[in-house]
Amino acid sequence: MNKVASIIVTLGLMIAIGIIFVGKSNSEPAQNVEIKNGIQYITLNARGGYFPNVSSAKADIRTKLIMKTSGAYDCSASLVIRSIGFQKILPQTGETEIDLGKPEAGKSIQGVCGMGMYSFLINFI
């Protein structure tokens, strides 16, 4: 019986650790897109990765990406967006505005850190 109790406790701990480190699912829509004065703004936070890491936005509208950093000392501060030829070291704290043009429906824009460890995806619908 001790072996069964030990297995149950171990499984419970593994589930708890998974919930703590994985966090909430990406299946929930991100609320990081807004349109002001005819321009769509997508806001992402860069620090230990990019959050949210999946976003959906409207296609065929002038779009700007706002990258917010707050004490970003990791590789997420080194941002590369190959599809638009963007590569820059973001400030450790601050905001960087990136013009994405007018992305077409069905297109996606992916950004990655300089080491390729962290990424984000913006889908245009």
To the nearest 10°, report the CA torsion of 30, 104, 50, 69.
-100
| Residue 3 pLDDT grade (very low, low, confident, very high; cuts 50, 70, 90) | confident
Strands 54-57 and 119-124: parallel
* pLDDT tens, residue by residue, 29-54: 568 999 999 999 999 999 999 999 99
Tokens of 60: 């065929």
- Scanning the structure block, which residue is given the tokens 């829509």? 29
The predicted structure's pLDDT at residue 5: 59
Tell me the CATH class for 27-124.
Answer: mainly beta
Tokens of 14: 């593994």
Domains in the chain: boundaries: 27-124
Which has more confidence, 12 or 61?
A: 61
Alpha-carbon distance of 36 to 64, in angstroms, equals 11
Alpha helices for the chain (secondary structure H): 2-22
Contact assessment for residue 53 and residue 121, using Cβ atoms and an 8 Å cutoff? yes
pLDDT at 24 over 60: no
- Scanning the structure block, which residue is given the tokens 């905001």? 95
Q: Tell me, what DSSP letter sits at residue 59?
A: S
pLDDT at 28 over 60: no
* pLDDT tens, residue by residue, 56-92: 999 999 999 999 999 999 999 999 999 999 999 999 9
Tokens of 55: 């976003």
